[in-house]
Chains A and B, each alone.
Chain A
Amino acid sequence: MIPGIAADFSADTIVTTIVKAVLIIVFLLTSVLFAIWFERKVVARMQLRPGPNWHGPIGLLQSLADAMKLLLKEDLTVTRADRVMYLLAPMISVFCALLVFAVIPFGPSVTIPFTDYATPAQLTDFPVATLYILACASIGVYGIVLGGWSSGSTYPLLGAVRSTAQVISYELAMGLSLVSVFIMAGSMSTSSIVESQTSLWWFLPLAPAFVVYIISMVGETNRLPFDLPEAEGELVSGYMTEYSSMKFAWFFLAEYIAMINVSAVAVTLFLGGWRAPWPLSMIGDGVLNTGWWPVLWFLAKVWVLMFFFVWVRGTLLRLRYDQFMVFGWKVLIPFALVWLVALAVFRWAGLAGVTRTQMIVAIVAVFALVMIVLWLWPDKKAPDRPAGGGEGPDGGFDAFAGGYPVPPLPGQTLQASPRARRTVPPAPQAPPADVDAEETR
């Protein structure tokens, strides 16, 4: 048994490991097929249209048909492409995306039906498993970067550069939010972190870190509202513009697996992993937390997060690139850092023997102090904006006085527009020269 992890892999043989690895890959590939259908169906529902409904029952086989189409399409290679990197990039993406699930626990120790053989429902685990997930994510970016670069075209390169900047920035915030869980759980192994959430799931006490993680996980997977590397309206489709057929399908696959990955990490670290949600966990003295039941809870939680991804996509608009970077570096990372320091102080106080009452008093005192300072802080002076409308040269209301048209305020009356004024028949004795001047104006 490896020290520092909760799961016991001592009964595992090489055969068990291979079987588990194959099962994980099958699970991921079928999940991606389902996820594409799920996303299209849910987004369609949100946009009041039926979505895929033709192939198979309720359109379930649509993604299978799409995958077949991609397999059979012509595999184009752009003339200016760098052949080796062009082929390597999608491979890196998929490979790294597939690696993450190796350390995700689907459940506690499970018994294979009709035998006595028990094994953890997890491929492997080690004391730095969560860091390993971050490492896989950071190598996965190479697929995007090299794919964009090797296409030898402008839009893919721009998409690749954006994506690098984005993933590096948001991985910092993500890492910081994960550190809070390490501090509280006292371990970086996934099975131990799930073990530490027996009584309380971390998303409640570590709510700020959870929020930071949820935001940065959307940024990390290049999804709306943070889908700047793809940005259909600006970059065609970013780093995968020049890809077609199966190579494109690999990128597509990697993107959806990455969504499932980050959801699974959120579930494992913050949402209690495979543990049954509260009212269910009380039934029969925790019988629903044993055997094969936990796999169901784990999958349910992952799919709730996947629904969140789709919901966000259906609701929010894409951010502008500079706003996005400012948000990442000037809001998310400082916030995560401050929260981390506060949590470290709290934890240290707990270890140093400060009682809970004293801590609560201290927190209330600090909160009150901050509130008083904020209250006494001088108000920001409102900028002097020129009033919209004003007095015209003839004394009436001039809608254009502030530079652009505004409606009249109460008490002011809007003059007839030049066009309305034009309908007034001209005085019969007006000289014709004036009429010309009026027309040319």
Chain B
Amino acid sequence: MSGGEEVLFWVLAPLMVIAAAGLLVVRRAVHAAVCVVFVMIGLAVLYVVQEAPFLGIVQVVVYTGAVMMLFLFVLMLVGVDAADSLTETIRGQRWIGLLLGAGLAAVLLGVVAQATFPPSVGLAQANAVTNPVALARVLLGQYVVAMEVVGILLVTAALAGLVLTHRRRLGKKPTQRALAEAKVAALPTGRQLTPLPAPGVYAQNNAMDTPALGPDGRPLEHSVPRVLRIRGQQRSATELLTAEETLVQHIEPDRRTPDETEEDR
């Protein structure tokens, strides 16, 4: 390891360990996902530093950018928000888990204790034609059959995913033209072609429960959402207008209301 590489490792590695430990501690699934993302990006940086830029970048593009994003997507949509329940679904799974974890720790400790790190051999030679080209020669030359097999496996899995989640449509999908024709045909039954008018905006009031005024000055009842109308929660426009006129009278007693003007005429 060169100097810069060592500094980067000792800065990044503890942060990665903290993030990985955070995965166990945090209570919300999305926070756990973000911890994993951090570990993945840290790993990618370490790959790049160790002169495997292609692997590092692909790690970010594929795992962080696509796979983890899909995980997050599902987490957000399903709404796995509350802390997981701590009831055991398999009897004694905690003890089995602890036992397996201890075993893994023992194996890893053994490997780390026995490992010696001789200086890397042949890295410059392998990367002489640039890292991606060298990698391509190995993967698409020496291991081309394995690559193809993995490719076929992945395509099969993707197809299986499509087939398993496929639902046959019961009716024909209505086209935009058919929908438009149905709308026009429903005109005699009182349906509108245009979107419904938005609720009213008054000088002092702007809420969903106040009807808008039509061009003729009459309130448009259907501008209030249907739910509010059914619950009887809409307000009358007259009440609002009276309140506003009272206020105007209060502020400017000289000002005449439209009705008075008309009378004068």
Contact = CB atoms under 8 A, between A and B. Distances in A.
Nearest to A192: B130
Contacts, number: 87
B264 interface: no
A95 B61 CA distance: 17
Given A138-B60, A145-B76, A188 B132 contact: yes
B57 A128 contact: yes
Interface string A129-143: 001101101110110
A127 B70 CA distance: 28
A149 interface: yes
B129 A3 contact: yes
B131 to A, nearest CB: 6
A307 interface: no
A404 interface: yes
Contact of B131 (A88, A127, A139): A127
Contacts of B132: 4, 127-128, 188
B66 A168 contact: yes
A311 interface: no
A432 interface: no
B133 interface: yes
Interface string B114-147: 0000000000000111111100000000000000
B64 interface: yes
Contacts of B58: 131
A339 interface: no
A160 interface: yes
Contacts of B70: 168
Contacts of A127: 53-54, 130-133
Interface string A65-97: 000000000000000001011001000000000
Interface in A145-166: 145-146, 149, 157, 160-161, 164-165
A85 B54 contact: no
A3 B128 CA distance: 7
Contacts of A85: 30-31, 34
Nearest to B54: A128
A440 B54 CA distance: 80
A142 B64 CA distance: 10
A164 B127 contact: no
A139 B73 contact: no
Contact of A135 (B57, B76, B131, B185): B57
Contact of B65 (A126, A141, A149, A165): A141
Interface string B49-74: 00001100110110011100110110
B41 interface: yes
Interface residues of B, number: 33
B130 A135 contact: no
Given A127-B131, A127-B132, A164 B61 contact: no
Given A3-B128, A139-B41, A132 B77 contact: no
Interface string B163-186: 000000000000000000100110
A150 B105 CA distance: 36
A149 B131 CA distance: 38
Contacts of B65: 134-135, 137-139, 141, 171
Contacts of A395: none
A138 B61 contact: yes
A168 B185 CA distance: 40
Interface residues of A, number: 31
Given A4-B130, A85-B34, A138 B64 contact: yes
B60 A139 contact: yes
B69 A145 contact: yes
B28 interface: yes
B37 interface: yes
Contact of A4 (B30, B37, B66, B133): B133
A427 to B, nearest CB: 29
B187 interface: yes
Nearest to A405: B184
Contacts of A284: none
A262 to B, nearest CB: 16
A85 B76 CA distance: 13
B60 A135 contact: yes
B30 A146 contact: yes
Given A3-B128, A128-B132, A164 B73 contact: yes
B131 A128 contact: yes
A403 interface: yes
Given A4-B133, A141-B65, A168-B66, A404 B187 contact: yes
A139 B31 contact: no
A85 B61 CA distance: 22
B68 to A, nearest CB: 9
A142 B185 CA distance: 46
A26 B245 CA distance: 55
Contacts of B133: 4, 127
Nearest to B40: A139
B185 A131 contact: no
A398 B61 CA distance: 63
A126 B57 CA distance: 11
Choose among A4, A134, A149 the residue with the greatest number of B CB atoms under 10 Å from its CB: A4
Contacts of A149: 30, 76
Contact of A139 (B30, B64, B130): B64
Contacts of B184: 403-404
Given A131-B58, A161-B77, A146 B34 contact: yes
Contacts of A128: 53-54, 57, 131-132
A149 B79 CA distance: 10
A329 B30 CA distance: 28
Contacts of B44: 135
A160 B30 CA distance: 14
A403 B188 CA distance: 10
Nearest to A320: B176
14 contacts: A4-B130, A85-B31, A127-B130, A128-B53, A128-B57, A138-B61, A141-B65, A145-B72, A160-B76, A161-B73, A161-B77, A164-B69, A164-B73, A168-B69
Given A134-B65, A139-B64, 10 more contacts: A4-B133, A88-B34, A127-B132, A131-B61, A137-B65, A138-B65, A139-B65, A142-B34, A403-B185, A404-B181
**5 closest A-B pairs by CB:** A138-B65, A4-B130, A135-B60, A404-B184, A127-B130
